[in-house]
Structure 1
Amino acid sequence: MKKIVTLLCLGILLVNCSNNDDEMDIENSTEIVVDETQEMGTDMYVGNFVSLAHPTSGVVSVSDDMSRLDFKNFKTDNGPKLLVYLTTDTDATEYVNLGDLKGIEGDYNYTIPDGTDIGKYKLVNIWCVDFSVSFGYAELKK
């Protein structure tokens, strides 16, 4: 994010420096303000992925209305039949199935079923069905 803002500021500076006028027009200059809370939202629950059976990383958050799980900069290994679970523990003894893992690298969204208690199912678990193992998980915290 900082890299994008820096490049954008550099681009504005280069355009202004190439202007033939001797003075910079202060009235027409703009300031770029980046609010990082707009990018992630003001999520109530957030967690960082931790590796278990396979390297897993990224950030996961729950939308304000508790209806959506958002993965940002997510990355894990490929595997057979990978699912996204909300679980009570890393062994997935109790879970809510959010569906197939949509990809092994990137930003993804999953719908949280109505009535799901995030206080109870506070782990986001990348579960390999074929080997009954967690690739990695994130604990959702306020």
Structure 2
Amino acid sequence: MKLQPWMTFSLVALALIGCAGNEVSSEPLSASPIESPVTQTTESPVAQTTESPVAQTESPSPVAQVGEETVIKSGSFQSGEHPTQGTARIVSQEGRNVLELDEAFQTSTSGPDLFVILHRSDNVLGSTEPPIYPLTEGEYVVLAPLQAYSGAQSYAIPDDINLNEYQSAAIWCRQFNATFGAALLQ
């Protein structure tokens, strides 16, 4: 059918326009701690709305660095749709697992709907298609909305997440299903 290539082109153009730009800022995404629940739906993230959640999880609050911590996995971010840099690491703190982004973490301010995720693939960017690197539902788990475009930040990992099933961390634009950057965790 002649409409299919135009529809594909239109979706890609929409994603590029929505997530375009390479500006980086150290300003927080919001002035107050995130209090809204993280939602996942069975719809494609491109067409996703927050009005029809299938499952809701409580947004984790920032985790304090108290007591001893053990590094479980770590890796450096590689840029996807937008420049992203820094290191992600999973640490065990007082019996809880936490994903930490280091002080050198930085990504584009262009994302309207950025989330921190864990992904099953050991090559997130290589297993998807440029330029936006869309993700397949079921291959990732959303940890929380991104707290800030740059700097050190922490995200609690729910106890029911089997870390052996997830090989990478990524910064993902849910609204346009675009991967800003990913880090292989080893």
Q: Is TM (by shorter chain) over 0.5?
A: yes
Instruction: Give, as a single letter, the amino acid of the residue that structure 1 aligns with 2:184.
Output: E
Query: What is aligned with 1:77?
Result: 108
Q: Runs of 4 or more off by more than 4 Å in structure 1?
A: none
1:44-79 per-position Cα deviation (integer Å, ceiling 9, x unaligned)? 201100001000000111113451011002100011
Greater percentage in strand: 1
CA distance in 2 between counterparts of 1:88 and 1:42 reads: 22
Query: What is aligned with 1:113?
Result: 158
CA RMSD of aligned residues (A): 1.7
Query: What is aligned with 1:67?
Result: 97
2:75 equivalent to 1:44: no
Unmatched tracts of structure 1, length 5 or more: 1-40
Structure showing greater radius of gyration is 1
Identity of paired residues, percent? 36
Query: What is aligned with 1:88?
Result: 120
CA distance in 1 between counterparts of 2:135 and 2:166 reads: 10
User: Given the superposition, is the C-alpha separation of residues 45 and 66 from structure 1 closer, same or farther in structure 2, using an over 3 Å criterion?
Assistant: farther
Greater percentage in helix: 1
Q: Tell me how far 1:92 sits from its aligned partner.
A: 3.3
